Amino acid sequence: MKTKIVLLITFLGLALVPAMPAAEKEKEKEKKHDHDHAKREAGPNGGRVIHSVEPHYEFFVTEDRKVKITFLGEDKKAIAAAAQTVSAIGGKRSKPTKMVFASDGGSLVSDQPLPEGNMVPIVLTVKVSPEAKAVTEKFNIDFSDCPTCDFKEYACTCDH
């Protein structure tokens, strides 16, 4: 009788192992992917993580092309912006779009969308507190889809 129960448990165990939930499988894949080649990390919204200030922040462009800045805690999860301020100038020097940022659900979101185009230059100025030195980032926002990962090129996590 005991043997039968043990066998039954073993059988159940075997039957359960291959039926790994899809979400778990996804996680496993991600872990593997991270380990294999992703040198860069994506932020909580799928944006680019910028390390020039503490706390680090995520640079993300919303569906309506507004810039969304989300500060990140030690665990790389979003934290609500408090003393931090952000300003930005997007687009060509001949026709710049000045953006001011307002708090929106803990993130700082630009009042205006970025100018049109698939490659938009941006100058981003971040102050982590009123006394802190302003830290400027200049880069081109590349809106094309990365052929390798699920992100736009500006937030791409591949090492290329």
In the chain, the amino acid numbered 146 is C
User: Alpha-carbon distance 160 to 139, whole Å?
Assistant: 16
Binding mask 97-136 for Zn ion (x = CB under 5 A): ----------------------------------------
156 forms part of the interface with Zn ion (CB under 5 A): yes
Answer whether 86's CB lies under 8 Å from 122's CB. Answer: no
- Which member of 109, 149, 152, 155 binds Zn ion (CB under 5 A)? 149
Query: Based on CB atoms, which residue is closest to Zn ion, 89 or 146?
Result: 146
Amino acid at 51: H
Instruction: Please give the radius of gyration of the chain, using alpha carbons only, rounded to the nearest integer.
Output: 22
CB 119 → Zn ion: shortest distance, Å? Answer: 16
- Helix (H) or strand (E) holding 22, with range, is helix 22-36
Query: DSSP letter at 42?
Result: B
Task: Report the nearest approach of Zn ion to the CB of residue 75 (Å).
Answer: 23
Stretch that binds Zn ion, among 22-30, 77-85, 87-95, 146-154 (CB under 5 A): 146-154
Min dist CB 41 to Zn ion, Å, is 12
Residue 77 is given by DSSP the state -
Q: Which residues of this chain interact with Zn ion, rule CB under 5 A?
A: 146, 148-149, 156, 158
